[in-house]
A = this chain, B = another copy of it.
Amino acid sequence: MVSKVLIANRGEIALRVIRACRELGIKSVAVHSAADDKAMHVRLADESVCIGPASAAKSYLSIPAIVAACEITGADAVHPGYGFLSENAKFVDILDEHNIGFIGPTAEHIRIMGDKIAAKAKAIELGIPVVPGSDGEVKTVEDALVVGRTMGFPVLVKAASGGGGRGMKIATGEDDLAEAFTTARTEAKAAFGDDAVYIEKYLEKPRHIEIQVACDTHGNAVHLGERDCSLQRRHQKVLEEAPSTVLDDKARAAIGKICTDAMKGLGYRGVGTVEFLYENGAFYFIEMNTRLQVEHPVTEAITGIDLVREQIRVAQGEMLSFTQDDVTLSGHAIECRINAENAETFTPSPGTIQTYHAPGGLGVRMDSAVYSGYAIPPHYDSLISKLIIHADDRDACLMRLNRALGEFAIDGVETTIPLFERLLPNKEFQAADYDIHWLEKFLGMK
């Protein structure tokens, strides 16, 4: 059993874990940098330890400092949150050596999923669909045609030694395949001195859909449906929602079963997320995140399941508190990431929050690490609050989100709240008619 958890993180996720610990009657230890001595996670934990200077590399990312903090506080387990050391296999190895529990998967699983190539190979082995590609180099137009016909057009001809978009050509069909193939080879030769090319399925307007899984050490693996995280800016998720409007129960159950079968095959432990691109009814594996995600509250809202509590249960060797049959999805949920950033330029806006008043009422959850008078340090990421809305259906959820944003008061720093206020009246957003490129287009359109 876990009796004292050290949270190797800061900000709202540290608070999230402290809350779960307190609700389980488990003591919590906050660690913090010298810049975070007035942070909310320090205030609310049972104990706190300053582990290093402001620099994350010397504090939140310092394995020796965190292990030493466990030693002096007697913490018997570490929750890594997300980011920082949450997907660092070496950290898990060292904790194992020191007999400190890690609330997360094994080092081996972190290692596999942290390596793009190994992860894709493992996904294929586990039966998870990946982006189809030629089996290595394609040497002739004729071979390219065979590959293209097999996987379906459009396809992407890519330089084997390539990068940065050079030596990369799209063939929309058989007609322009020869040209794309030849041009790509020529460009590849010119740019990289190597004309080897391979072919991959090209996704034009994919959505980002991810499946939440939870597994215990008794062989149980359950999926909790998907989250649609297509609204991204520079590969950063901005708004997440569940369920996705493009999946029906059958599609959800099918991809869910693929993921849980894979997790059983892997012998995975704890919570994790299998991320996919989704286009025309098909899923294509991107990566697996072997940790709790920022957007996990969206799933908590529609399933009623406390994911952090389950993480701790699993780390204690308990069974998941639910089976697949127990999981029902109810209503619709949206999370808005409130960053301390200018809502147009996305320039970070650290500073002191003069006024903080959070929205309340039915269907509103706030996961926030800030308060009136709190000085946001410039050293870390700019996520300060998450606003999670739950309602009966997507339309009601949008209406509730609108009213909640209207109640939100943060003065003293700029936030991304105005971005969501701009987004809400947009017809395409209202219709969930978007893909992973949509938000950047919307922002450029302004």
Residues of A within 8 A of B (CB): 15-16, 19, 22-25, 44, 297, 300, 304, 306, 321, 330-331, 355-358, 360-368, 371-372, 391-392, 396, 399-400, 402-403, 406-407, 409
A367 touching B372 by the CB < 8 A rule?
no
A406 touching B44 by the CB < 8 A rule?
yes
- Interface hub of A331, A361, A407 (most chain B Cβ within 10 A): A361
Q: Which of B297, B358, B360, B368 sits near A362, CB closer than 8 Å?
A: B297
| Bound Cα distance A330, B328 (Å) | 12
Where chain A touches its partner, the secondary structure class is mixed
Copies of chain A in the complex: 2
Instruction: List 24 A-B residue pairs with CB atoms under 8 Å apart, sorted by A's residue number.
Output: A19-B361, A19-B362, A19-B403, A22-B399, A22-B402, A22-B403, A22-B406, A23-B396, A23-B399, A23-B400, A23-B403, A24-B399, A44-B407, A297-B362, A304-B330, A306-B363, A355-B372, A357-B372, A358-B360, A360-B365, A360-B366, A360-B368, A361-B366, A361-B367
Given A330-B304, A406-B22, A365 and B361 contact (CB-CB distance below 8 Å): yes
Residues in chain B near residue A364, CB distance under 8 A = 365
| Bound Cα distance A171, B53 (Å) | 75
| Bound Cα distance A358, B304 (Å) | 22
| Bound Cα distance A237, B89 (Å) | 53
Residues in chain B near residue A366, CB distance under 8 A = 358, 360-361
Beyond A297-B362, A304-B330, A304-B392, 5 additional contacts (C-beta under 8 Å) are A22-B403, A23-B396, A23-B400, A300-B362, A364-B365
Residues in chain B near residue A356, CB distance under 8 A = 357
CB distance from A88 to the nearest CB of B (A): 26
